[in-house]
Structure 1
């Protein structure tokens, strides 16, 4: 909803800025202004000044500057409209409603906030009664002090199907149902009844500190352990975070925000002096919740439980964040000791135990790499290909194309280091005799009729030779549509010389930039990078005549042949690696490797034959 400049100007004129800031810092009169230690950065000498006449504040230390609305959005993390509504309520102004239906929803929500506040007060009172003794013992055993109980507004819902219903009868049953406090059965004749019974009650607040829902923790055995409020007009569990009202201001002083799994984790860390902590409301992190986190800090720290479920939740969050990553938006991770959650860690070792972990969080790029690397064994070409495919898919999911390319290069570089195994420098001059083939120094077992040729040997031992590399890259420059179509396979090709690698990266960058590409555009990009001179007609000195190196070829056939060539070259590299593995196993006495070598040499021969056919233009 847009607000007129006239309305905002009047709101600022009716707002005494010093009264808005005073609850957050200690103000000292300084002539016609006030001064204070800045709430946005740590300092001992006041450099933060408030001018009520002009309606703005300014810090000469960190350059924070703004009006009353800006102060609420920056200090408490409130959305703009929430800040306006809070100031307007204090100034006796009515925020214009966009339409009658929106006004009706706002009025209804305002009334329900009063109902939720009354419910929270009643639950807090029940905690102090004789019936609340078991709940008090539970909280005491969790190390939660009376001061923390008061700070978070924790209460108790006693047993009985109509205890809250009777206590808040004056609010009206319909409103109690609308708030999710009562359940209305489907059968018309059945009475409504309390949703929460026999549970420790933890209020969930919005960014303005208003109660919008509850999380109820059962005492003793039973399921579910935690029962949350249902979706209501006030409570959308996927669009808010537990403790967001307190963590927002704290995060600005701590320069970080921490995400844990549960309510008790938040409360436990707060008791240790770590107030900049939030938790999702019993669900996996949503895109809306990620957006809230990034408003508080560009790199929130996810500190989930050390068990399998907690680490799985961390990976789900990382994958969900990928489309929204940007240079100023990422995630960091902390791996807790196995079987421990943050609350356990704090209770066992105090704040120092958790600070030791939080001081060295793991970047998202490392966390996803470690997860995928350890997901499956990497003993076969198929398993290694699966790892490579998953990494490329993750990188492709990143919306920022330049960042996606950097992730791709980073992960594929690590993949290469992990999976490339050096060939043995020496091979036995002879081994088990067999009429099907023989050993050759430096090459391993070669069947007598294997068509292994110079192209295949070059790929297997030193990367794709220069003539073949020049031909493929020339084809991509002539038929740019193929770059994006074969970006993954192209990224994995091993070129023998750096010039080819430079051209390959320029082509991938151009394709992933999202701009429309044609031959002239590609040529311009390569010339600007000083890489165009590497490309020729793809045939000079090589005896090759690929269809895709000729500008006048049929485009459909050229694109098809180019795709086949790229895939075949990639297959050659995989086969060469598999042959090296089989050779090592055979030397170690693995008899099954003998037949595998035969199969791989046959496959190598087929790919070499196909390359020869393409090179001849057939």
Structure 2
């Protein structure tokens, strides 16, 4: 049975960044040199989910889940290791290689051709098939005219389990290609495939070049989900694409302004009414991949246009942290309550909708308004909460001049000393405190052993030298001895080491230690201190029990030598 080659595994790990992968799923806040968020794996209000970019690993200090980027995908997507690796490979555009048997790969070009064929087939059915009457009536009820349907190539998928599979086979497109394109689903029994989209209005999703990379499909019956998208494929990722971007590239390049809405019809109906420049996210908050795409077009202004309700405002807030890290001007358009852009066009017409969209608020003012609405500003604690939340967001602004201007505005708004606020913005000042810090004190030797392992995880270039001074059996507990043995023989990313540890206690300890932060210039000095503590313990234990066939004076001599030794004498310098 074929399995993914180790060469491919290493290629994928080198190509993906855990911060980008995690932030494509939910927003992260940068604090100091790492990132934090509320954990996606359990309910919490205070962020305890920590992502460390240098060590390429994550750790939740609430539920304890930890590991590298593959572990995160496995946990978040609820898939096994091979599928997680496949998802990451598709994200990075890497064709996996297999060993132990041939496994032909299906390339992007084949998927794009299948998508193009499917889009034309769905469109032809929409125009001619009697069973598509429900789709035509639905669009008429939404006010979508024939010209707009043609522009967006809106199609129809019949309510059949194998219609597309049969028609594709007649056109020379195999079921495995349809499966790779996300158009077919493999049966749980393993006995073949069935059509993904059935009895739905189908909307092709195109890349900026106009190539069909996936589909969104709306049900025409009272069933869930209302919308069904193509899954992650080699050509499609909902966290890195927009709906409608291919139709307004010229408008964006002219105005340098992009309006971001939530739904397909929030793009379609305004477009029909002459309102161009709108794109929709595909069921996700804004991600770094979205922002990377915007940079290609030199977008200078981003306007978030969402439903005029609390949920819409919360959606705005979720996208702000990422947008603030970009060098663009950000605004928010609040629509009349209970209306989305599509509703506004139908109810109020194009001119009134344009007025609503262009009546926008600078993001800093919106942030203060949104934060203030959730607290009682008449109390000191309420004001403090708003200030703290706003400062966390201002910390993401890369331009120091812009950040200073906004900081002074915040100080004036709440009559505070700008110097106090400026001090609060220093890197790492607001980093959450891990629950582990509240635990009881450990014995000196155990504390030294854990600190030494944490230092080696942070700076693995010192492992070789430390290994010559302190073997694994020199550590005081079974856990630290086991972890030291694994670390001494490890030659890869720290996140991967955590992933391969099978014992829950050992894995939890490694994850905790790997997340500790140290000042780089203090590492060698601290390693030396830990070594002295542990050598002293070995000496005392040997003297008390007597080393097998040994002499206490010999242990004392070794301790004296260790004390005189300096880190540089033993090569405790970066690099293995």
Pairs within 5 Å for 1:595-606: none
Counterpart CA distance in 2 for 1:230 and 1:100 is 18
Q: Is the 8 A contact 1:293 1:300 kept in 2?
A: no
**Larger relative contact order, structure 1 or 2 (CA cutoff 8 Å, min sep 6):** 2
Aligned to 1:167: 167
Q: 1:172 to 1:348 in 2, by over 3 A?
A: same
Describe the superposition over 1:232-283 as per-residue Cα deviations: whole angstroms up to 9, x where unpaired. 0010111111111112112234553211111111001110112221111111
Describe the superposition over 1:283-333 as per-residue Cα deviations: whole angstroms up to 9, x where unpaired. 1111221232344321121111112221111111112222x233xx13111
Which of residues 300, 308, 311 in structure 2 aligns to 1:309? 311
Aligned to 1:614: none
Describe the superposition over 1:178-227 as per-residue Cα deviations: whole angstroms up to 9, x where unpaired. 00000002322x33100001110000000110000000001131111100
SS of 2:336's equivalent in the other structure is coil
Pairs within 5 Å for 1:402-551: 402-416=401-415, 484=426
Aligned to 1:246: 247
SS of 2:318's equivalent in the other structure is helix
Aligned to 1:136: 136
Q: Is the 8 A contact 1:205 1:212 kept in 2?
A: yes
TM-superposed deviation, 1:108 = 1.3
Describe the superposition over 1:536-587 as per-residue Cα deviations: whole angstroms up to 9, x where unpaired. xxxxxxxxxxxxxxxxxxxxxxxxxxxxxxxxxxxxxxxxxxxxxxxxxxxx
Q: 1:139 to 1:105 in 2, by over 3 A?
A: farther
Which of residues 300, 306, 309 in structure 1 aligns to 2:302? 300
Counterpart CA distance in 1 for 2:310 and 2:410 is 24
Counterpart CA distance in 1 for 2:156 and 2:277 is 25
Aligned to 1:200: 201
- Alignment of 1:375 onto 2:374: yes
Q: Is the 8 A contact 2:201 2:219 kept in 1?
A: yes
Q: Is the 8 A contact 1:395 1:405 kept in 2?
A: no
Counterpart CA distance in 2 for 1:179 and 1:101 is 16
- Alignment of 1:263 onto 2:264: yes
Q: Is the 8 A contact 1:391 1:408 kept in 2?
A: no
For normalisation by structure 2, the TM-score amounts to: 0.53
Q: Is the 8 A contact 2:395 2:425 kept in 1?
A: no
Describe the superposition over 1:325-356 as per-residue Cα deviations: whole angstroms up to 9, x where unpaired. 33xx1311100011100001011122101111
Note the residue ranges of structure 1 that are not aligned, 5 or more in a row: 1-97, 418-462, 464-471, 474-480, 489-618
Q: Is the 8 A contact 1:239 1:289 kept in 2?
A: yes
Q: Runs in 1 of length 4+ with deviation above 6 angstroms?
A: 98-102, 104-107, 485-488
Counterpart CA distance in 1 for 2:294 and 2:308 is 22
How many residue pairs match? The answer is: 327
For normalisation by structure 1, the TM-score amounts to: 0.50
Structure (1 or 2) with the larger CA radius of gyration:
1
Pairs within 5 Å for 1:4-403: 108-128=107-127, 129-169=129-169, 170-188=172-190, 190-296=191-297, 297-322=299-324, 324-326=325-327, 329-403=328-402
Q: Is the 8 A contact 2:238 2:282 kept in 1?
A: yes
Counterpart CA distance in 1 for 2:427 and 2:280 is 41
Q: 1:165 to 1:485 in 2, by over 3 A?
A: closer
Counterpart CA distance in 2 for 1:139 and 1:149 is 9
Counterpart CA distance in 2 for 1:131 and 1:483 is 61
Note the residue ranges of structure 2 that are not aligned, 5 or more in a row: 1-92, 98-102, 431-576
TM-superposed deviation, 1:142 = 0.6
SS of 2:201's equivalent in the other structure is strand
Describe the superposition over 1:571-614 as per-residue Cα deviations: whole angstroms up to 9, x where unpaired. xxxxxxxxxxxxxxxxxxxxxxxxxxxxxxxxxxxxxxxxxxxx
